[in-house]
Amino acid sequence: MQLFMRFQVWPSRLEENMSTSPVGTRILNTFYPIHIGVIGGTPTRIIQLIIGMIPLILLFKGGIMWWNRRKLLQTQLPRKSSVIH
């Protein structure tokens, strides 16, 4: 049993379906090779990896900025007492 179907195995079947399928299906089918990284080879895969890592980097950077601001505010502002004098 073949676990992975290579893109080069089924283009003839894809072309037959492309001529008879609706426009929306044809547009979505053109995104699949880009999604699996077939188009463009290794440079495209590296670019996709970098773009995919950007949200993770922003998440950690935002967390670090929040933590630093929280520590700064705790050291600069005196704590308010809940007891009214």
Asked whether 16 and 45 are in contact (CB, 8 A), the reply is no
Q: Look at residue 76 in the predicted model and tell me its pLDDT.
A: 81
Q: Look at residue 57 in the predicted model and tell me its pLDDT.
A: 97
Per-residue pLDDT of the chain (85 residues; tens, 9 = 90+): 444 445 454 555 555 566 788 888 888 888 888 778 788 888 888 998 999 999 999 999 999 999 999 998 888 866 666 666 5
Please count the CA atoms within 13 angstroms of the CA of 83 that sit on its side-chain side: 1
